[in-house]
Amino acid sequence: MNNKKLVATCCVLACSACACYVGAANCAPSAVSGSPAPSAGALPPGHVRVATYNVVHGTRFPLPPSLVRESVVQGNLRAIGQWLHAEQPLVVALQETDHGRRNNRAESIARYGQFAYWADDASVSGHTPRHGVALLSTAALQEPISKPLVRGATHDKGWVAATVTVDAWGGEPLRVVALHLDPFSARARERQVDQLVAELESQQMPVVVLGDFNCGWEQGRCVQRLASRLGLHAAPTQGCPTYAFLGMHRNLDWILVSSDLEVAASYVSRDSYSDHRPVVAELARREK
């Protein structure tokens, strides 16, 4: 296929993605257990906001980054950062951050979103998968760790974890884990979940696992497998798809929290600068 045909094909795919999002645009923020629907801005006392967002390299649609002008990418990254800044999360997990190509996408989003701290797999461990994973935070990211996941047939994936001090909880620590699982192989995802369980099962503090799991909540699938083995529960997405492209509407992006945390509210945002939509949750500490 020559370059003109390739570009034309990508444009058709991009337009198809737009059409998918028009159809999915009515997913409203939803509250948990009848509480008021969440909104950006001030939080109730004792609540913190977290989010996960697959930013698809900053290209907005699943196009090869080489086909998209850097000025366009930076415009998308600026829009993502500004949207995140308006949401005011304590911590954000990013996927497909494309570190090492032209510039670091996670660093750009952190700068545009006014996050004082960021860490990705490359900066923490030197691991540079094709699709980077990162954490952004308004609080210091302590004890960061990053490791590659078991490699699937076509994709290398990884995870990044760190601890933040939560002022809203009286200075208690929270362990946050950003991940991105294999998109094509269920068997690879199972092995990656087994690896994560071995790494995280000894955690003694509250934990939040956020990211693109590339699977839904069905019985035995990777999300439920990880949740059941680590005693986590999911922030509800109210049936709103987190991924929409070429007629596919699926829930691939999840926020899982430990039993000592309560999901006060959660939602899949209407705003998106990617083929994925961001998932946002408001968390509170359960009474001891």
Report pLDDT for 233: 97
CA separation for the pair 281, 267 (Å, rounded): 7
**DSSP of 227-243:** HHHHTEEEPP-TT--SE
Q: Record the tokens describing residue 193, joined without a space.
A: 């979940």
> Was domain 3-285 assigned CATH 3.60.10.10?
yes
274 phi and psi angles, rounded to 5 deg? -155, 170
pLDDT tens digit at each of 288 positions of the chain: 444 444 333 443 443 333 333 333 335 444 443 334 455 668 999 999 999 999 988 888 887 777 889 899 999 999 999 999 999 999 999 999 875 455 688 999 999 999 999 998 777 766 666 678 999 999 999 999 998 888 766 667 889 999 999 999 999 999 999 999 998 899 999 999 999 999 999 999 999 999 999 999 886 789 999 999 999 999 998 778 999 877 778 899 999 999 999 999 999 997 779 999 999 999 999 987
Which amino acid, 262? E
Report pLDDT for 128: 66
Report pLDDT for 117: 98
Closest alpha carbon to 21 in 285, 265, 238, 277: 277
Q: How far apart are the first and last CA of the chain?
A: 62
- pTM of structure: 0.85
Contact 280, 269 (CB under 8 A): yes
Residue 2 per-residue DSSP state: -
Closest alpha carbon to 282 in 260, 258, 266, 261: 266
CA separation for the pair 76, 70 (Å, rounded): 10
Report pLDDT for 238: 78
